[in-house]
Chains A and B, each alone.
Chain A
């Protein structure tokens, strides 16, 4: 099964959804080379926003990947207003959309702790380094704590290099 994060990001942006990239891809972004097999974002929820998520992936056979019967997203429209998170499997990979991030708070709070980065394929918001460390610390799994050690080393190194130049 493919995992094309760039294509998913571009589709989400084109849908008009506001979002911040969180999770493993953000760890990679900040300089720690880990392998991550899903795209995690934090976004505002509510029916309108879940519809935007749907419009971004509707031609990619999206299903709720954590449901026992892999329910197609389109068949659950009646529940869009009640969703707080969406965990999807699509033809372009896994896409997890969260309304809150442990250690940081809701979308508005996450947004305040993000940075806008321009890449060749568009402008995207990523968690800033301190916020990512806080989120990974709060997540608390061994792999998150390992990432925290390395992110702290990166933070220290970047601060040193800023002093040098």
Chain B
């Protein structure tokens, strides 16, 4: 049986680390997806750059593909 809290998390509710400080909470309340920052902080700096390169490559490919297929 899945409890309500877990269900909410499955639906995208972010659980702030209990020891999160004021800057972290402020960013979260401002609307940033802090789960992305948490995930990024688990990587090494080089892994972050590699992931960024992959994302950029994909976005550029998508952009080029959109041009080819007449996206506005």
Report A's interface with B, CB cutoff 8 A. 1-6, 25, 28-33, 35-37, 117, 119-120, 126, 146, 149-150, 152-158, 160
Partner of B49, one of A25, A150, A154, A155: A25
Q: Count the A-B residue pairs with Cβ separation under 8 angstroms: how many?
A: 83
Closest-CB distance, A6 to chain B (whole angstroms): 7
B49 & A6 in contact (Cβ 8 Å cutoff): yes
B20-63 interface code vs A (CB 8 A; 1 in, 0 out): 11111011001010101101110101101101110111011000
Are A4 and B53 CB-contacts (below 8 A) given A32-B37, A153-B37? Answer: yes
Report B's interface with A, CB cutoff 8 A. 19-24, 26-27, 30, 32, 34, 36-37, 39-41, 43, 45-46, 48-49, 51-53, 55-57, 59-60
Main secondary structure of the interface of B (DSSP, over half): helix
Partner of A36, one of B24, B39, B52: B52
Are A32 and B40 CB-contacts (below 8 A) given A3-B60, A37-B56? Answer: yes
B56 & A31 in contact (Cβ 8 Å cutoff): no
A29 & B41 in contact (Cβ 8 Å cutoff): no
A35 & B23 in contact (Cβ 8 Å cutoff): no
Closest-CB distance, B24 to chain A (whole angstroms): 4
A3 to B58, CA, bound (A): 11
A156 to B41, CA, bound (A): 12
Are A31 and B46 CB-contacts (below 8 A) given A152-B23, A160-B21? Answer: no
Q: A37-B56, A149-B23, A150-B32 are in contact. List 20 more A-B contacts (CB 8 A).
A: A5-B53, A29-B49, A31-B40, A32-B40, A33-B37, A33-B40, A33-B48, A33-B55, A36-B52, A149-B27, A149-B30, A149-B32, A150-B27, A152-B23, A152-B27, A153-B32, A155-B23, A156-B21, A156-B24, A158-B41
A150 to B30, CA, bound (A): 10
Taking each of A33, A119, A146, which has the highest tally of chain B beta carbons within 10 Å of its own beta carbon?
A33
Which B residues are in CB contact (< 8 Å) with A30? 45
